[in-house]
Structures are given as C-alpha cells and as structure tokens.
Amino acid sequence: MGHMAVLGGSSRLLPVVRILYGVKSVVRDSTSARASAFDFGRALLALPAVWAGALVLLVAGPWLGSGYIFGTDWPGQRRFDFPIELSSSAPAQAVLAAASRVISSEWTGKLLVLGLLFVAALMAFRAAPTDAFVPRAVASAVYLFNPFVFGRLHYGQMFLLAGYALLPWVAIRVRHLFIKPNMTASLILAVSLASVGLASVHMVLMAALLAAMLAVTHLLASRQRTDHLKRAGLSLLTAAGATVVLSAYWLLPFALGRGSIANVIAGTTTGALDAYAAVPDQQLALVPNLLGLYGFWAENSDRFTSMKAFVPFWPVALTLILAVGAAGVIFGFRSRREQHASWIAGLLIAAAIALVLEMGISHPWTAGLVTWLDSHIPLYRGMRDAGKWAALLALVYSQLVALGAIAILEWLKKRTNGRPSIEWVASAATGLLIALPLYYGNGLLFGMHGEIKPSQYPAGWYSADRMMSADSQHGRALFLPWHEYMTYQFIQNQNKLVASPAPTFFSVPVLVSSNPEVSGIPAPTDPDQVAIVNLLRSGSQGHWAPELKALDVRYVLLVREVDWESYRYLDGLSGLTKVADFGSIVVYRSDSR
C-alpha cells in the first residue's frame, strides 16, 4: 500500500509543480535591497489571500462534497451545541453553534477546517519578514504542508490546529510592538495571545514561550535609546496583563481548581507521559524524526498511512529545507540590521526549547526535566502530548526559510547579473523553492490522497433519532458498544476509528464511554461511567431496569459495529424491550419509568 501511495503521490504532484513553475512568469520576485530589509510594507492586498486559498484547495478541495468530515477526535458533528460550562474554547463553541443554526452543522464543520487551513497559510505568509512574494509563499507552504498538520488532521484535532493557525499572528504582533511600542500594539498582541488560548490552551504555552524569547533577545540586543527600551518593556508588560484579563474567564476557574481544564489536569497521571510520548523513526532514531516534524505518538498506531509513504526521500527534502533555513540564519546575522539578528536569535532559542520539551521522556537527556515540569507545573501537565511542540518548530522553519529564500535569490541575481542566457537559473530556483515544501508535505494533497473523505451517517441513525425525539419522556440514551473510540464502517476515511459521534448526532442526551482504553491511562471514575461498566460486567445477570432508571436512561442504542454481537443478551432482558431495528442500529426501551 505504501508503494502505491508513493507512486500516486508523485504523479499527482507533477501538475502542481508545473503550475508553480509558472508563478515566476506571473509574479516577479523583487529581490532588491529593499526586499531583503526588515520591511513590513504590504504586498498587493489580494495576493496573500489568493495564494493561501490556492494552497487550501490543494488540500481540502475534495472535502467540499456532500458529507461530514471525520477525524479520530472529530466525530463528524451533526450538532454544534452552545457550551454549558465555561472553558477556554467556550466562545469558539458558541460561535460554531450559532453558525450551525444558519448554514447547517455539516458546512459549519467544513468551514472550520477550511478556515483554519486558510488562516494558517495566510498568517504564515504575512509573518515572513519581507514583502517579496516568493519568500512569503515558501514560508506559507512550509507552515501548511508538513507532517504536524498531516497527523493532526488525521486525528481531528481541529481546535489545536486553530491555535496553530493563529500562532504566526502572535509573531507578527510581537514584531510590530518592537517597531512601535505603544498601547495599541500591546492590546493587539494581547488579543492575539488570548485568541490562541481560546482555540487551544496548549498552543498558548507555545505562543507565550515564543513571545518571551523574542522579547528577551530584542531587549538584550537592542542598541536603541533607553526611552525606547523602557517603552518596549512597558508595552510587553501591558500586553501580558491584558492577556490575563482577556483570558480571565478560563484562567480564574482554573486557578480555583474548577472547570474542564482543571478537571482534565486533575485526571492526568504520570502514565500519560508514557502513553503520549514522542516516537522515534525506526532508522533515524528520535531527534531527526522530531526535526522533521514527525514524532506524533499516533504515528505508531497504524491507524493512518504515515506521510513518509508519500515522501520516500523525506530525509533529503528535510535536509534541503533545513539548509535553506540555515542560509536564512547566516543571511540574517550578516545583515546590518539588529532586528534580523535579535529576531533570529529569539526564534532559535524558542525552537531549541521546543525541541527539548518535545523529546520529553523519550530521550534520557531530557526525561528528568520534563518529568519535573509535569510534576510541578499543572498547566504543562495538561498538555500530555509532547508532539504538540512541533508546532513551534514549524513556525520557526517558516520564518527562517523565508529569509533563506531571500538570500538564495539575491545571490543568484548577483551571479546572473541580468544575463538572459542564465536568467533561467533564478526562475528554476524560484520554482524549486516553492515546490520543495509541497513535496515534503505532499501527503496533504487532494484530501490527504483520499484518506479523508466526507461521510454520511446511516439512514437508521436518523430514524432512531426521530423515534426518541418524539417521546416526550425520552430521558437519556445509552450508546453501545461501550467504547469511547471505535471503528464505524460508514466512515469513508482510511482511519475509521473515531470518538463516539452519538453525543453530537442524537437530539437527546446520550451516555457514552469516556475510557480511551490507552495503556497507562486509568479508567474514568465518574459515577455514571462506573455504574455502566459494572452493569455490563454483570451482562444478562445484571439488574438493568432499576439501574437504567437510576441513571435516567430511557433508551439503549446498539450500533452494529465492532463487538456488537456480544450484546445479544439485551434481547432477553426483562424490563428492556426492542422497539426498532433499523439495520445499522437497534433501539431498546426501558420499561421502568
């Protein structure tokens, strides 16, 4: 299968490369001295959006068809409900719920996915420290087409990716604050940081680390007047305070040990470090794998094809990307602008810290540090998945590769010196610079090479939902088989394993398993979860009717998936009546009301 994927990926990539080679004839890259300066002027207003939109269509075009998008942690939501508890993502959930009332849940989910990909590409384009099109386009492609995005899309971690999409915005606002430190710059930086936290608390840790390292290196390296440094320092403090105020709706409950974030952290044990540790490459070991933005723990689950199957020469492509980034580092340090040097220093320090934290317990040199952090810093403990730190590496790569593209194109321009006979070299370099990240991340092309496809729920699920909704005393429904994650044959993805879609499909409250069944992760101790586990262990000997009544469960839903046949004893239970068999799902009703 991997061999076929490689052949398909290469042939599909050829037309994309041909199109990109034509970019040079449409948009001439300005590699003048002004382009190499630390310039924040805007390119043509529409061009960044057009480029970002083109990249998104290369990935998500096939997802515009009818059906819901599924990922392991994104179970094709038929319903987006307004939040009933205050969490960091509560405002985003409210926006999605409101949107779904207007444009349907199917399109709300699709627009979320397309939107976060678009914002990631656009913000990375704008964050590159140049006005020249080609370096910014390369930065955008590096940030969107990489193994981190590939793995997280497969796993349906949409809110994490939304935070990832906003991460370059933080870099933009930090840079603007250094140029002109004032109240406006402080407040906009605070909004960017709070927005990242709204999407993902995990990403706000990376955004804070990035902002802190960039601030430290800027203040230490600055040769500007003392009054400018004072204003910059005051602006940074103002931004930090404003961020706390904007995030108080979730920070305060967290500090008091309440709310969903506090509950997640309280339930996170040391076993999570092992379960979600970064994984090495079988041949190249840990560090090269992490530098390549691989290492996501789920890559070893065999639930989806590794992107390495689509990029057989990924170590070579990675080496070239890092070489372009290294050229950017040299170019930045040799330039006579202190903004470049301090900016690059901050990026490199942030990347080094992120790499150490991502190595985590998977490497003996870093295991002690990460274990200590996990034990003493609650917010860090809630992060669990060490591979998330790759997001910060991706941002650093996009910044440095943009500078490297400037250096390479300027060098070639000097060597060609306007001679038509060899001017094609610069054109070829332009095409290759853009094609390189697309090749490295080509596993994302064309709907992940068809590994993620829109899927429709079975008709029987809709029939069951209508039946229960028509009952004025429907109470809750129990969803079986009792697994938090299991495969569903109606899902068209290669990876059919998803979290239970029942709570966001059915119109009545549904009781589902919250046990991920991952080694090292303890089973939930919630009373409802424990009661159902005990009832299932008793099987046909259990006191189902009174137990279900105590849990306010009126209906039992059994979908014909995975180990459903082990629940056949439900047909013979007293007090439980089979009221409908819709083929894909069987509906039982408890008579104890």
pLDDT confidence of residue 402: 96
CB atoms within 10 A of CB 440: 25
Q: What is the DSSP letter of 83?
A: P
Averaged pLDDT of the chain: 89
| Cα 30 from chain centroid (whole Å) | 33
94-to-91, 99, 100, 246, 576 alpha-carbon distances in Å:
5, 9, 10, 17, 37
Confidence of residue 122 (pLDDT cuts 50, 70, 90): very high
| Unique residue bearing structure tokens 């998330």 | 388
pLDDT confidence of residue 224: 63
Among the ranges given (13-22, 214-223, 253-262, 302-311), the one the predictor scored with the smallest mean pLDDT: 13-22
Q: How many degrees, rounded to 5, is the angle at CA 385 between CA 359 and CA 249?
A: 125
pLDDT in tens, 522-535: 888 899 999 999 99
Name, in order, each residue with C-beta under 8 angstroms of 76's C-beta and a sequence gap of 6 or more.
Answer: 68, 69, 70, 109, 455, 457, 491, 498, 501, 504
pLDDT confidence of residue 43: 44
**H/E run at residue 144:** helix 133-144
pLDDT confidence of residue 413: 84
Confidence of residue 382 (pLDDT cuts 50, 70, 90): confident
Report d(CA 63, CA 40) in Å as an integer: 35
Report d(CA 112, CA 77) in Å as an integer: 12
- For the entire predicted model, the pTM comes to 0.90
pLDDT in tens, 139-185: 999 999 999 999 999 999 999 999 999 999 999 999 999 989 999 99
Name, in order, each residue with C-beta under 8 angstroms of 53's C-beta and a sequence gap of 6 or more.
Answer: 118
Q: Say what percent of the chain tops pLDDT 90.
A: 69
Report d(CA 106, CA 70) in Å as an integer: 11
pLDDT in tens, 34-64: 444 444 444 456 899 999 999 999 999 999 9
**H/E run at residue 142:** helix 133-144
Name, in order, each residue with C-beta under 8 angstroms of 391's C-beta and a sequence gap of 6 or more.
Answer: 148, 163, 164, 167, 203, 206
* Residue 275 contacts residue 519 (beta carbons within 8 Å): yes
Confidence of residue 25 (pLDDT cuts 50, 70, 90): very low
- DSSP assignment string, 547-591: HHHHTTEEEEEEESSTTGGGGGGGGG-TTEEEEEE-SSEEEEEE-
Provide φ and ψ at 349, rounded to 5°: -65, -45
Report d(CA 517, CA 534) in Å as an integer: 16
pLDDT confidence of residue 31: 44
Q: Is the model's pLDDT at 267 over the cut of 80?
A: no
Q: Is the model's pLDDT at 230 over the cut of 90?
A: no
Q: Is the model's pLDDT at 554 over the cut of 70?
A: yes
Report d(CA 574, CA 551) in Å as an integer: 17
pLDDT confidence of residue 35: 45
**H/E run at residue 240:** helix 226-246
The amino acid present at 567, given as its one-letter code, is Y
How would you classify residue 533: left for phi > 0, otherwise alpha for psi between -120 and 50, otherwise beta? alpha
87-to-92, 191, 249, 292, 368 alpha-carbon distances in Å:
10, 17, 8, 33, 31
Q: Tell me which residue of 271, 261, 152, 128 sits closest to 204, measured CA to CA.
A: 261
Report d(CA 540, CA 248) in Å as an integer: 50
